[in-house]
Structure 1
Amino acid sequence: MSTPDTDTGTRTGTRAPVTRAEYCVIACAEAWRGDGEVLASPMGLIPSLGARLARRTFSPGLLLTDGEAMLVGPDGEVEGWLPYRRHLTMVTGGRRHVMMGASQLDRYGNQNISCIGDWERPSRQLLGVRGAPVNTLNNPVSYWVPRHSPRVFVERVDMVSGVGHDRAAAAGVTRFHRLPRVVSDLGVFDFATPDRSMRLASLHPGVTVEQVRAATGFALAEPDPVPYTREPTDEELRLIREVLDPAGLREREVRG
């Protein structure tokens, strides 16, 4: 495993050290690398910054939406019209890549945003299933988890909202099913294993494998060595700090 420049996992030099939140923005941006002209649908601040950063740098073909009926540029300028019928066509045709949140995720990528506890008498009611089944079966879906813990990364989700690899395979609906990555405040995870179970793909600098294991409710596959999440370039840092999020709101979402 490579080692960062300092004990805190940040780069040294004339610029301010890279924060954990900024590594998360970079990791989220990488989810859309190579996607081409697809609709990026980030849910949450860090994924939104990641999508806008990707659009400005290595994925210029990305389409961004205002969440209503317009296609917008990385600064919010209107670039086109996206009525709901066109949006649905992109969804069912696989031309959208969503980055959703998750209240629970299991080793195969099954996601729960509906309830905690038994479905008939849950201890906590959440968002509901919403569009998660259609999202996961019709277009690529990644996940963003700002607080990595055993309460989120669980052995078995209490209810399946987004469909994981095991259930998609059992139902024979794998043609358009793809879960590219999971990004948390500790690292990046994928499903590049023979049984499509979750793998620790990279650690954010300053995080240890032991920390990730302790915060995960199941055994992760691990490469040897485990790499670190890539460093942002100077231009990417400038865009994050001066253009995309000059108010520093990203630091409120991710603890250092």
Structure 2
Amino acid sequence: MTTDTAPAPATRAEYCVIACAEAWRGDGEVLAGAMGPIPTFGARLAKRTFSPDLLLTDGEAMLVGPDGTVEGWLPYRRHLAMVTGGRRHVMMGASQIDRFGNQNISCIGDWERPSRQLLGVRGAPVNTLNNPVSYWIPRHSPRVFVERVDMVCGVGHDRAAEAGVTRFHGLRRVVSDLGVFDFGGPGRSMRLVSVHPGVTVAEVRAATGFDPVADGGPEGVPVTREPSARELRLIREVIDPRGLRDREVRG
């Protein structure tokens, strides 16, 4: 006779996977542009559970299923058409991000003489101005969540409004190792909508270089949704059996 045992409690990394997966809820048939391990695991989990129409890519030229099986060919020209046509929801990283969602992945310090050279602007402006964008921050700190980014790569709500390019501009979520934000604050600024278990609103604010609005007030911010037993099994046994998620998020 066999008995079912309850899974071990979810780790911080697994809450982050769930929070990233939730960013694609309700998107329908769009391409998930997941950058990094935990966003990738989140996209695969969403595809296997509540967003079955989501399209996944191998990062190069193929559409793949949640288990990596090839389902179709995605030539570069078609990929660009999906980007510029709003048929992709990408989750990017950020070396810096401000309250309005302006993102920097190019340099730290003055652009003419930076103290650190990073990736470069890459496709961030096109992403943010043409299709939905969310962000994943694995190390929440005041060095990343800043009052003003040193260079704008991904375009935030304030600058998109100033330039009059809001028609296809849409920032959805910011997920970090401490909590989840949307852009429901004043002027479409960042708003804290959940904290991961074991994290307080005060800790989030102390790790943020600006004062974010808290949904429900300091005492009313909910805890990030707990993974179901099925979701935990999928994460641990199918999607990430090697435990790579715990290398990106500890604690």
Unaligned runs of 5+ in 2: none
Does structure 1 residue 41 correspond to structure 2 residue 33? yes
1:209 is matched with which residue: 180, 201, 204? 201
Unaligned runs of 5+ in 1: 1-12
CA distance, structure 2, for counterparts of residue 220 and residue 134 of structure 1: 26
CA distance, structure 2, for counterparts of residue 216 and residue 134 of structure 1: 27
1:92 is matched with which residue: 71, 84, 87? 84
Partner of residue 226, structure 2 = 231
What per-residue deviation string (whole Å, max 9, x for no partner) do you get for residues 20-76 of structure 1? Answer: 000000000000000000000100000000000000000000001111111000011
**Residue 147 of structure 2 aligns to which amino acid in structure 1?**
E
TM (norm. structure 1) is: 0.94
Does structure 1 residue 248 correspond to structure 2 residue 240? no
CA contact (8 A) 2:7 2:232 kept: no
Q: How does 1:61-100 map to 2 (within 5 A)?
A: 61-100=53-92
Secondary structure at the counterpart of residue 99 of structure 1: strand
What per-residue deviation string (whole Å, max 9, x for no partner) do you get for residues 137-184 of structure 1? Answer: 000010000000000000000000000000000000001101100000
Structure 1 stretches of at least 4 aligned residues deviating more than 4 Å after TM superposition = none
Number of residues of Structure 1 aligned to a counterpart in Structure 2: 244
What per-residue deviation string (whole Å, max 9, x for no partner) do you get for residues 185-211 of structure 1? Answer: 000001012410000010001100110
**Residue 238 of structure 1 aligns to which amino acid in structure 2?**
R
**Aligned residues: CA RMSD:** 0.8
CA contact (8 A) 2:24 2:89 kept: yes
Secondary structure at the counterpart of residue 180 of structure 1: strand
Does structure 1 residue 123 correspond to structure 2 residue 118? no
The farther-off stretch of 190-199 and 48-57 is: 190-199
CA distance, structure 1, for counterparts of residue 87 and residue 93 of structure 2: 20
The farther-off stretch of 191-200 and 91-100 is: 191-200
CA distance, structure 2, for counterparts of residue 15 and residue 54 of structure 1: 20
CA distance, structure 2, for counterparts of residue 102 and residue 180 of structure 1: 15
Once the two structures are aligned, what percentage of the paired residues are identical?
A: 83
Secondary structure at the counterpart of residue 91 of structure 1: helix
Does structure 1 residue 182 correspond to structure 2 residue 166? no
CA contact (8 A) 2:104 2:152 kept: yes
Q: CA deviation at 1:255?
A: 1.4
Partner of residue 135, structure 2 = 143
Secondary structure at the counterpart of residue 51 of structure 2: coil
